[in-house]
Amino acid sequence: MKPTTIAAYLLILFPLFAFSNSISATGINIHKDRDSAMRALDQTEGKRLTDELLTHLNQQSATLSVDVLSRFSQRSDVSKIGLEYAFWRLAKQAPGKLDPAVLDYLINYHSEVRMSHPESAHSSLPVFNIRAAAAGAKQLQQRQQDLQIAKNLEQQPEAFLQHYLETVPVSQTALRVAALQLSAPLQAKLLESSLQQLKNSNANENHRAALTDLSAGLAFNQAGTAPFSVIIETAEKRRLPELLKNIFTNLIDTESKPLLYQALNREPEIAAIAIHYLAEIAETDQNVYTDLLVWLGEPNLGAAAALALSNSKRTNVHADLIRITASPQPDAARYARLTLSLIADSMAEDQL
Amino acid sequence: MKQIFQFASKSILLVAASYLLVLSNAVSAAPHIANWTEAPGELGLGYPVPLPVNTPVPFDGFRSYNGLRTRHFELASTTEVVHRIILGRTQFGVNINAWQLGDADLLNNEGLPEAATLTNGGIHAREWQSPETVTAIMELLAANENDDGFYRYLLDNANILVIPSLNIDGFQQTQRYPRKSWIETDPDDPLTSPRDGRMRRKNMNGVDNALSTRADHLFGVDLNRNNPPFWASSNRSSANGSSIVHHGNSPHSESETQALAFAATFAPEDRLRMYTDVHSFSQVHFWHNTGNQRLARNTTAVLQLFTDFQAAFPAGKFYAFNQANQQSAQGGIGSTDEYFAETYKIPSWTLEIEPSGGDHPGLPGCGADYGGLATNCHDGFILPESEIRRVRETLAQSFTMAYYKQMGAASVRRVRIFDTASGAVVYAADWKADSATSRVLHQDQLENLVPGREYQLWVAFSKPMRWRNSNGRIVTLPGQSVTSLPVQLKWLADEQTLSTNFSTPTWHNQPGMAPSGYLAYRDDAVSVSFTITDTEANRQLIDSATEFTLSQQTRDLTGDLIDANPATVVDWNNGGWSFLENASGTMGDQGGADQSLNVSISNTASEATQLIDSSFTGAWPDFNQDKQGLLLEVLEDNKAVIYWFTYDDEGNQRYLNAVGNISGNRIVFTELYETRGGRFSSPGFNPELIKAGQAEIIFNNCDQGRMDYSVDSRPGHLDLSRLTSLMGHHCGLPAPATPVREEMLLSGAWTNTDAGNHGLVLEVLANSSIVAYWFSYDDQGNQRWFFGVGVIEANELVFDQMYTTNGGLFGKPANEAPADLLPWGTMRLQMNCVDGVLSFDTNGGTMANGMFSLDRLTFIKDGSCPAN
């Protein structure tokens, strides 16, 4: 590791007293009073400096804007905490107001005004996390730009989709909302393209995740459940939990049930989540309930079935589990006992 | 909402909009409940708001408390290495569980009390990374319980205690309201510190479940401010019940902190060697300096290993920490790591899981580390779902590295030297614990080492010593700066080095013990060929020297030197290692070269060792033990079988079987088996075959040998002496071309599974008497054995008195575990070379009388039935 990097890491844990001068000079209680510092600064130099900075920045080109910040940070009449508060507020401004170069400057600014870390008597954190605020602002800025680009591509589903895939996740969220504002035929076309790409096994994981989310959102605007079936079969597994939740929440049981059963064919972790939702259907559907008991005997599904059955309100569940504990199938018997243990544990707690 | 859609299949646009709804909450200055949202807003994250899912199976997201709990129960139910301990109950009456990871006996594979670690999760409710990570430790160890290597070593030798979720009430409150928090209500930081709901930190003391009841939403006790000795000792905690760092009414006033303190008793306390409280966020380790500088150095050594290993994963997450010289001893805040450091003088720290806090190079901090908006930096407590799998899985592995280190320095456990040409063992050494603090060395030198002759040295250590990559190649442990871990070997003659050619060492990841397998765990053993060069200088040195010593030095996979003196057992005491010696014998925190083994080296070769042949078949008891011992059969193809008739720890009869490989004067049994569940008189039962351990026999000569074994994870040995010799098999002489007497071919093993589960071992002795050992079960499935000495009469073998025993104890000498000899009945055998009939009468005993057929199972080497 480079010495400069080590030095940066040391700063993370630098003893508090090293910073005490700059903070105590402001009269701020450093251990927890970020809030009172902000209020005090709002009354004094913080607001003034922020306004002053904004005024200067509005008058400068991108290149000169960074110089403005740099000069500001060297002014002797500006306290460190006042400066960093102003920088932090600057980063919190509406993202459209700041030049990307300004945000980059702030992202690379290392806060010197510290407060004690909540969990350590010996370590500190920035009072104002300028870097995080600026990084967040930059994401917002990117999001706005991407939305604008997407607006220009509204009539071109293929181009819209390509732009969607190439941008950052925070923009993708916005573009998915924008997609839902398209006309019905364009939405259908976009869904078709998205599903087509989702079926392409060569697509990378992140693209597949983005395609899953987009397809799912659009599918809710289509008639029938066929698109969901395609998505469940081909989706990036990381995004399936969210889809299954929405299928369960937003479709009627007769629509969601076959889709949830289909999800049992996916990875064990996805199947387990499908069982969680099927368990609610099982409260009123004898066939699903019977399947839950059967799944106790399948090692990949047994624990999920056990959890589901342990929460069941059915009156016969206890007797059914007792019966299965005597099953010649070792896994079924084991997971039935596990379910009974979970029930017993909860009952013991409830008796208090 | 679902009910609405039960009536109208799809209110399409509404559903779609709800799926992707962008909330843009206006910032309000008044106290109110705000929403954490994916989209920009008052508490906008910039990534999906994680919602707990009621599933036990790890996925790319966060499990509900019940999902995690079910997972813990499942691991306990489906593995042998997860054991539940109920520590107490929360304010709401929920059981607080600790889980003991490892085998059940709490003894290491030397039979000594295991060292323990304690890892606490979920003390702060909103830090969902923590219970997932601690659960991942359980999952990692359980998934690898049969790896026969690094993880199995930990499971056998460490008592790993984990508490996945301490503040269960608070955790469940955060999961009840995963999208909501109060803002503008924190008494100290109203503008930037959301409270309750998803941001609950404290326990639920004095709080109800309803988020909407504002009056109590700030209450509860910060469990990481509720601990002695620094409870309420500074302005870092507060007496104000609404403060987020409220310290409670007294030290350990809360049932949760009481449970945590109680957990240490299951180590037990004097075995505890490491404590970690798992939090988020900031991506750092905080440790408490007690003023004990040795403890400080050892703590940072563990942290360095953890950090380096974690940083070596592809994500490159660096966990910073203060070095010992950067942190003075000065008070505390009432945290749990302070409590454990001060109370037990062990490495204790608070781990703050990622994201970073804004100081790491290249990382802006908070949710912005993942492309989030960092609208409010408390989003650092809300790790994106897309990150949690990586976080929990990598941190779990880093934890196991720390556990490995805290088990202490490796030491030499066993050494074998083979003559390459004959394959015979010429030198054997074994260190075995004889108390909690000391080991004794057993050495056998069967032949002198002589210059110019090639030997193979095999050394086994007490822990796995090398790390392999996914391709099975030995590599430097990820994150370690050293590029190689040499094995430094020397032969010393009165402290002068003998010129020796050593080959490149080979570490072993296959079973089989010496010379080309590991002892107990993959990569715990290394072998090297060597030749003491036949030079004039060496010969003179050998002639003049009085003592020859093997000097061996290496490091374990984390870079720690081996203990130079295995005679004392490395332990932990007052912040440092005890009985860890360097080459000079100085105790400290660093090991060194082991020079504890003295070997005979001569310019003149000694008589060659007798190699194993069929004549070694017979009964070989350890006369220090009472009514137990081994039956050995030497078979064709360099195979051998042992039948070990012995006892369990309760005085019940027990027997173990194994098939081994003969090499020179040695037999290796890589798998000793125990059978359970057969029946004496009921057919149809298939006994369960259980691996009980492994063993190695080395014969010094025709009449003496030694068996070193590990059974039930306990090491031991038998000093074997010959009791019987078979007719027609004379030690050192070839087997006769024709049978001395036809019945000699009956020696061997016989079986019947039609009438019950029976095995019979017959030895036809040189004096024509017959020894029979009958291995079976009672009708409850417990192992039983009977034996007797019979005579050959006309066409049958007659045993007028068969015996059984009870009362002995496994591995114990006769004076500690005498066994009673009990008459059992009579037995008659009508046999030919291929099959026979056994009839018995227990003279009114519980097994009554009966008869059944026998089939041949084994022939002694060089024996077979006549062709006709």
Q: Which of B69, B72, B74, B330 to mutate to test the interface with A (most CBs of A within 10 A)?
A: B74
* Separation CA B768–CA B785 (nearest Å): 23
pLDDT of residue A20: 34
pLDDT above 90 covers a percentage of chain B that reads 86
pLDDT of residue B233: 95
Torsion of CA B111, B113, B119, B123, to 10 degrees: 140
Residue A338 to residue B73, Cβ atoms within 8 A: yes
Interchain contact A168–B (C-beta under 8 A) = yes
pLDDT of residue B10: 35
Residues A74-99 as b or e (16 or more Cβ within 10 Å = b): eeeebbbbbbbbbbbbbbbbebeebb
Contacts of B863-866 with CB under 8 Å at 24 or more apart are: B863/B614, B863/B735, B863/B744, B863/B745, B863/B747, B863/B748, B864/B745, B865/B745, B865/B833, B865/B834, B866/B833
Q: Measured between CB atoms, which of B56, B94, B188 is closest to A307? A: B56
Q: Measured between CB atoms, which of A38, A268, A338 is closest to B74? A: A338
pLDDT of residue A64: 66
**Cβ-Cβ contacts under 8 Å, A303 against chain B:** 56-57, 70-71, 74
**Cβ-Cβ contacts under 8 Å, B359 against chain A:** 8-9, 11-12, 110-111, 125-126
**Which ranges in chain A belong to alpha helices (H)?**
3-12, 17-24, 34-43, 45-58, 62-73, 80-92, 100-107, 130-152, 157-166, 169-179, 184-199, 205-219, 226-234, 240-250, 253-263, 268-282, 286-295, 302-310, 317-325, 330-350
**Cβ-Cβ contacts under 8 Å, B89 against chain A:** 349, 352
| Cβ count within 10 A of residue B683 | 12
DSSP string, A94-142: -GGGS-HHHHHHHHTPPP--EEE-TT-SS-EEESS-HHHHHHHHHHHHH
**Cβ-Cβ contacts under 8 Å, B373 against chain A:** 136, 139-140, 170
pLDDT of residue B9: 38
pLDDT in tens, B428-484: 999 999 999 999 999 999 999 999 999 999 999 999 999 999 999 999 999 998 767
Query: Whose CA is closest to A41, among A129, A134, A128, A106?
Result: A128
Residue type at A204 in one-letter notation? N
Q: How far is CA B378 from CA B182, B214, B299, B357, B716, in A?
A: 13, 20, 29, 10, 57
pLDDT band (50, 70, 90) for residue B23: very low
Mean pLDDT of B15-43: 66
Mean pLDDT of B197-223: 97
Average pLDDT, chain B: 93
pLDDT of residue A349: 66
pLDDT band (50, 70, 90) for residue A5: low
Least confident of A153-167, A194-208, B7-21, B292-306: B7-21
As a whole number of Å, the end-to-end CA separation of chain B is: 87
**Cβ-Cβ contacts under 8 Å, A217 against chain B:** 16, 19-20
Least confident of A90-99, A247-256, B369-378: A90-99
Q: Which of A2, A9, A84, A119 to mutate to test the interface with B (most CBs of B within 10 A)?
A: A119
For chain A, what is the radius of gyration of the CA atoms? Answer: 28
For chain B, what is the radius of gyration of the CA atoms? Answer: 33
- In DSSP terms, which residues pair with B642 in a beta bridge? B632, B658
Cβ distance A173 to B374 under 8 Å?
no
Residue A122 to residue B330, Cβ atoms within 8 A: yes
pLDDT in tens, B742-782: 888 999 999 998 888 899 999 999 889 999 999 999 988 89
Q: How far is CA B84 from CA A58, A299, B163, B170, B274, in A?
A: 64, 21, 10, 22, 20
Residue B374 to residue A349, Cβ atoms within 8 A: no
Q: Taking the mean position of all CA atoms in its chain, how far away is CA B55?
A: 28
pLDDT in tens, A297-344: 999 999 999 999 999 999 999 999 999 999 999 999 999 999 999 999
Kindly report the nearest CA distance between residue B852 and chain A, in angstroms. 31
pLDDT at B19 over 60: no
pLDDT above 90 covers a percentage of chain A that reads 53
Q: Measured between CB atoms, which of A136, A220, A237 is closest to B19? A: A220
pLDDT in tens, B602-655: 999 999 999 999 999 999 999 999 999 999 999 999 999 999 999 999 999 999
User: Which tokens is B222 given?
Assistant: 């910060």
Rounded-to-5 percentages of helix, strand, coil across chain B? 20, 35, 45
Residue A32 to residue B46, Cβ atoms within 8 A: no
**Cβ-Cβ contacts under 8 Å, B374 against chain A:** 129, 132-133, 135-136
pLDDT band (50, 70, 90) for residue B15: very low
* Separation CA A197–CA A202 (nearest Å): 9
Residue B357 to residue A131, Cβ atoms within 8 A: no
pLDDT of residue B16: 39
Residue type at A40 in one-letter notation? A
pLDDT band (50, 70, 90) for residue B219: very high
* Separation CA B609–CA B699 (nearest Å): 9
Mean pLDDT of A212-218: 95
pLDDT above 70 covers a percentage of chain B that reads 96
**Cβ-Cβ contacts under 8 Å, A334 against chain B:** 77-78
Q: Measured between CB atoms, which of A12, A176, A272 is closest to B320? A: A12
The reply to whether the predicted model has a pTM over 0.80 is yes
**Cβ-Cβ contacts under 8 Å, A103 against chain B:** none
Interchain contact A334–B (C-beta under 8 A) = yes
pLDDT at A18 over 60: no
Kindly report the nearest CA distance between residue A12 and chain B, in angstroms. 5
pLDDT in tens, B224-280: 999 999 999 998 999 999 999 999 999 999 999 999 999 999 999 999 999 999 999
pLDDT of residue A94: 65
**Cβ-Cβ contacts under 8 Å, A335 against chain B:** 77
Mean pLDDT of B384-407: 98
Residue B22 to residue A216, Cβ atoms within 8 A: no
pLDDT at B495 over 60: yes
- Rounded to 10°, the helix A169-179/A205-219 angle is 20
pLDDT of residue B756: 80
pLDDT of residue B20: 36
Residue A121 to residue B364, Cβ atoms within 8 A: no
User: Which tokens is A351 given?
Assistant: 């008796």
User: Which tokens is B391 given?
Assistant: 């976080």
* Separation CA B383–CA B281 (nearest Å): 9
pLDDT at A71 over 60: yes
Residue with more model confidence, B358 or B397: B397
Cβ distance B315 to B327 under 8 Å?
no
Cβ distance B245 to B222 under 8 Å?
yes
| Cβ count within 10 A of residue A73 | 15
pLDDT of residue B573: 97
pLDDT above 70 covers a percentage of chain A that reads 88
Whether a cis peptide bond, with omega within 30° of 0, leads into B621 is: no
- In DSSP terms, which residues pair with B272 in a beta bridge? B116
pLDDT of residue B170: 98
- In DSSP terms, which residues pair with B95 in a beta bridge? B89
Query: Whose CA is closest to B203, among B305, B89, B107, B109?
Result: B89
